[in-house]
Structure 1
Amino acid sequence: MSEELDIPEEGTESLYERRAFVIDKGQEPLRIDKYIQMHLEGSTRNKVQNGIDAGFVTVNGKTVKSNYKVKPGDEIILLSLVNPEHTVLKRENIPLDIVYEDDTVMVINKPANMVVHPGVGNFSGTLLNGVAYYLEKQNPGLDEDSLPRFGLVHRIDKNTTGLIVLAKTADAAAHLAKQFFHHDVKRKYTALVWGDMEQDEGTVTGHIARHRQYRKMFDVYPDGETGKHAITHYRTLERFHYVSLVECVLETGRTHQIRVHMKHIGHTLFNDWEYGGDRILKGTIYTKYKQFVDNCFELCPRCALHAQTLGFIHPVTKKEMLFESPLPADMAMVIVKWRNYIANRKEL
């Protein structure tokens, strides 16, 4: 048997994980596509060959062809799709806010209440369902396996709005996936959080792993104990005494990273029901204040988080691409309400 190395995933927002194998001394010469198919659960020969052709597989640091024969001592590094929960992608005519598109990539402004890709409980109505429909109109007979395998290289939460990039070719997906792994992608988020930020700017560092009690949540753990290394840089944009508007820049990309890191430092995201932000965490006990906050919750009935800036190197032109998405209406209205509320307060 070969030895499988434990290489930490470098971005849970990425839909790809990195795995590595070292071929043992007793391995007979074997085509690499067959070897990977044997060691990657749920894979098919066609998918493996497509991945090799796209540069998702390296041997001793170099890309190879599908007919390469592994030999003892070879180190194989493989980028594989994380938890492919669906096999058939249902094409659906879903309106898409396409910010940019060319032959290799497309950037979409995702609305709230939309899951990025199909999975358990969400096999329809996702962003990828809409993209599949849209791309099939451009390319009739689109391969069933191509889009789920190569289209997505990262994701954002269901109730997070903002920018997401998708690859239209396997080569583009490989190029973008490597940028996410190496933290070369620029990602800037805007969030409304509970409390008056203690500092104008700062950095939150803390390993993130699944919550020990609530499996749908994540938590911060002491370095080295469990989880994966995560870094979030933040800057305070505006203060409303009871809540603050902040800008968050991801150095790493873990699941729920901003939500977990902000809660960790005592500033849970506004109306983030999974992490307790859907109740009054700062402010007065007066009925009018409670009514005001409830009105804000109704205006923005979701976690107040927006993926505002996305930058990457174009897979073909190699030019830097930078995109900005304005705040969605629900967040913008809530921010105006808080600004007016504080301005009209006689005493704070």
Structure 2
Amino acid sequence: LEENGLPRFGMVHRIDKNTTGLLVLAKTPRAMTDLAKQFFNHTVHRRYIALVWGDFEENEGTIRGHVGRHQRFRKLFTTYPDGEYGKEAITHYKVLERFNYVTLVECRLETGRTHQIRVHMQFIGHPLFNDDFYGGDKIVKGTIFSKYKQFVDNCFALCQRQALHAKELGFIHPATKQPILFESFLPDDMLAVIEKWRKYSENKNDIG
């Protein structure tokens, strides 16, 4: 307990600033140890939804590449494909919906490195929509028409952060030893920007 008598909660894992969705807090040291072990052993089920720039040739794939701090820009992380720096990182992705210049994808994390989805998606040329750390806050794909630029700016205004949401989280309960799964609905800002792109892709010729 804290000095004021309130329980001390342990942060088992974190999500990035400006990412929405689920995270885990442990209420006891025993639960903390048990959950930390599950994360360390990569047995925790974690599924994210992301809106990323560009279209994909394939419907699903796996990104492998060590993730670590950028050698020059210390607040950024980057992918080291040869594994000379950083820690092993594995992201499985699946296309959910295509909108011509952006794509809605589902990402399942096998490892949980800092900024993993964001740097892995940047690494394969698909930075997250409006990710100001990794190049997604400018027009990456699309046309040169001013109407299109205005459309994208309007989308940025609707979702003023990287379009990433921690949707599912599953693990073995530390006390009951039963598998449990939590799910979180997409937040309004991502829903609004997805709907805007959906309408755009259906009426592409109206915008240019």
Give TM-score scaled by structure 1 length.
0.58
Paired position in structure 1 for 2:83: 224
How far 1:140 sits from its partner (Å)? 5.6
Which portions of structure 1, spanning 4 or more consecutive aligned residues, are displaced by more than 3 angstroms?
none
The root-mean-square deviation of aligned C-alpha atoms, in Å, is 1.7
Matched position secondary structure for 2:117: helix
Question: 1:178-203, CA deviations, whole angstroms, 9 ceiling, x for partnerless residues?
Answer: 00000111000000000011210000
Paired position in structure 2 for 1:18: none
In structure 2, how many angstroms separate the alpha carbons of the residues matched to 1:210 and 1:342? 36
Question: 1:56-90, CA deviations, whole angstroms, 9 ceiling, x for partnerless residues?
Answer: xxxxxxxxxxxxxxxxxxxxxxxxxxxxxxxxxxx
Kindly report which structure 2 residues correspond to 1:162-311, keeping only aligned pairs within 5 A, or say none. Answer: 162-311=21-170
1:332 alignment partner, one of 177, 191, 201: 191
How far 1:165 sits from its partner (Å)? 1.2
Gaps of 5+ in 2: none
In structure 1, how many angstroms separate the alpha carbons of the residues matched to 2:71 and 2:152? 31
Matched position secondary structure for 1:276: coil
Contact conserved, 2:65 with 2:83, CA < 8 A, in 1? no
How far 1:216 sits from its partner (Å)? 0.7
Contact conserved, 2:165 with 2:186, CA < 8 A, in 1? yes
Q: Name which structure has the greater RCO, CA cutoff 8 Å, separation 6+.
A: 2
In structure 2, how many angstroms separate the alpha carbons of the residues matched to 1:173 and 1:259? 27
**Percent identity at matched positions?**
68
Matched position secondary structure for 2:204: coil
Kindly report which structure 2 residues correspond to 1:30-179, keeping only aligned pairs within 5 A, or say none. Answer: 141-142=5-6, 146-147=8-9, 151-179=10-38
Max Rg structure: 1
Give TM-score scaled by structure 2 length.
0.95
Question: 1:239-287, CA deviations, whole angstroms, 9 ceiling, x for partnerless residues?
Answer: 0010000000000010000000000000000000011110000000101
In structure 1, how many angstroms separate the alpha carbons of the residues matched to 2:43 and 2:55? 31
Contact conserved, 1:210 with 1:219, CA < 8 A, in 2? yes
Contact conserved, 1:167 with 1:173, CA < 8 A, in 2? yes
Aligned pair count reads: 207
Contact conserved, 1:272 with 1:303, CA < 8 A, in 2? yes
